[in-house]
Chains A and B, each alone.
Chain A
C-alpha cells in the first residue's frame, strides 16, 4: 500500500513526533507507515484521515492502483 503521509505532514510542518502524538502512536510507527514498512489497521487509517481532515483514499492507495494511475 502507498501513502502520502510524508507529504501531508510536510505541508503542515509537523515532525514525525508531532504526528505520532496526534495519533497516539510511537514515532517509530509513523516512520514505518511513511516508509511503507507497515500498513496501518483500518481504525488507525481512519484516525490518520481524521487528523489530516481528508478521506482515506486521498492518503492511501493500493500499490496496483498507484501503478495503474502512472
Chain B
C-alpha cells in the first residue's frame, strides 16, 4: 500500500513520506501500548485516562499531515488520482458506517466503536488508490 501511495512521487518526497509515516506509526504503537498498560494496571484517575485516550491522536495527526504533504508534492495527475481515491474511500466509509449504524439499531448487529472509521478509510484508500491508478495506466 505504501509503495502504491508514493508511486509517481520523487525519491525525496517518497523517502520523506515513508520516514514520517514510520515515525508516526511507531509513536502510535507506543502510545496505544503505553495507554493500555497504564489504564489496565495503574487504574489512573479520569483526567489521566482522557489524556491517554487522546495521546494516539498526535501520531494520527502526523500521519494525516504526511499524506497531505505527499499529495501536495506530486504532479497534477498523481494528485488527481489521490484525491479521487480519497473521495471514493471516504464515500464508501461513510456509506458503510451509516449502513452499519442502521443495522445496529434495527437488526441487532454488534456495536462497533467509531475508532474503526479512520483505519477503515485508510485501508479503503489503499485499495481505491490501486484501482484509480489502473484507470490512468
Contacts and interface: CB of A to CB of B under 8 A. Distances in A.
Nearest to A38: B77
Contacts, number: 36
Interface in A3-41: 24-26, 28-29, 31-33, 37-38, 40-41
B75 interface: yes
Interface in A22-67: 24-26, 28-29, 31-33, 37-38, 40-41, 44
B8 A37 contact: no
A55 to B, nearest CB: 21
B76 A29 contact: yes
Contacts of B74: 26
A28 B76 contact: no
Contact residues on B (Cβ < 8 Å of other chain), bracket: 10 to 19
Q: For chain A, which range describes its interface: under 10, 10 to 19, 20 to 34, or 35 or more residues? A: 10 to 19
A38 B75 contact: no
Nearest to B9: A26
B80 to A, nearest CB: 8
A31 B8 CA distance: 12
